[in-house]
Structure 1
């Protein structure tokens, strides 16, 4: 689908944010279209994770507006955003180490108010997308490898059947092949369900392979955007940072 044909899944308009009076984001605007995969790149400290937190209602912006599927929500909280079809896979995975995978899934389904009669079907959906989880779903998350924990974190987000997904640095601590294995089902979701994906990622080669657009961020501002081919020259990419 071309960008011109896409309805916005997520829009940020003039977002500024910071911590304790220190500005981190300055007048950022971006659009993520339905069925589009956009990768956000930038140096450490550019503000990428802060932007993702603002978009998902985990940090209140100092200025700006956010629309989700054309609506400005009166309560821009994670719960309200989840109900509107947005999900976040946070940096660092954020799994509960003392809970089993099945318990984490049950908690996610309960928090999303998914009816009990639908829960088994939801779990089977994510296990079909990420079948390796079947091998360790009864284990406590704290005993899993980094790659297994990342699968659980992604699966937990997908249990809500989101229409837009925010992924913050999913490759951290993962071997390149495992990261490829995680990206493949995510890209397949875009193709089969039209899920929009905003991906913050340092492993640009793998991320660009599934992306429609790239946004480059520096010092709290988006400084350039274009197709992945425009950023394929490594030297050119490094110039931006």
Structure 2
């Protein structure tokens, strides 16, 4: 197996003629947790959307575990083991948690005989979901909705998990309780994780490497410890 989960070369993308990503190249190693930070509007979410097939790049190529996707679509990328937890959670407020999970399993074509096992796997990682699995998502707190969004992605048993700003709206302690078991999946399942996050303290604590993005380009790559100096970090922003 290749040493890389994702290899993206020369990606460019934008909206309505406005370029957001400019010749971006990124490598996510197998079993690596890579943290991507940058100011608002730097292009981080656009990059994740491109990597998951939600937005087609105007230039560039991608390989997932050494394979080139047949099509640049979420179905094709998902088939190669990529899952996305979007910014803003994106749960259906009128559906119960069980219904959201059922819809995700159906969408991923998981056989009925295997669905209970998949749900139990998610509940082992995020056990608090058991407390509200019969409630409608719209009645849940922000932290609970984030658990549901992450759990929905984990149902597909992804090899690569893309997390877009999971701490938004969460207290620091709640985010810590959420990110630690997700990071542990790197060891238990060999998962690779690309984490877009502004809570740098907690994100750096679980990450192997950091990328800083500014205006659609990477301006720094290194170990989290290289940015322990707050002044240095602010200079990059």
TM-score range, shorter chain: over 0.9
Q: Does 1:22 align with 2:7?
A: no
Q: 2:93 aligns with which of 90, 97, 109?
A: 97
Q: Secondary structure at the match of 2:211?
A: strand
Q: Which residue of 1 aligns with 2:3?
A: 7
Q: Which residue of 2 aligns with 1:222?
A: 218
Q: Does 1:182 align with 2:178?
A: yes
CA distance in 2, matches of 1:199, 1:166: 6
| C-alpha deviation, 1:228, in angstroms | 0.3
Task: Give CA deviations for 1:111-164 in whole Å, capped at 9, x if unaligned.
Answer: 000010000000000001100000000000000000000000000000000000
Q: Does 1:84 align with 2:80?
A: yes
CA contact (8 A) 2:82 2:160 kept: yes
| C-alpha deviation, 1:64, in angstroms | 0.3
CA distance in 2, matches of 1:50, 1:92: 14
Unaligned runs of 5+ in 2: none
Give the TM-score normalised by structure 1.
0.97
Task: Give CA deviations for 1:80-106 in whole Å, capped at 9, x if unaligned.
Answer: 111110000000000000000000000
Alignment of 1:21-170 (within 5 A): 21-170=17-166
Give the TM-score normalised by structure 2.
0.99
CA contact (8 A) 2:91 2:137 kept: yes
Structure 1: which 4+ aligned runs deviate by more than 3 Å? Answer: none
**Aligned-pair Cα RMSD in Å:** 1.0
| C-alpha deviation, 1:6, in angstroms | 7.0
Q: Secondary structure at the match of 1:192?
A: helix
CA distance in 2, matches of 1:83, 1:71: 11
CA contact (8 A) 2:2 2:66 kept: no
Q: Secondary structure at the match of 2:184?
A: helix
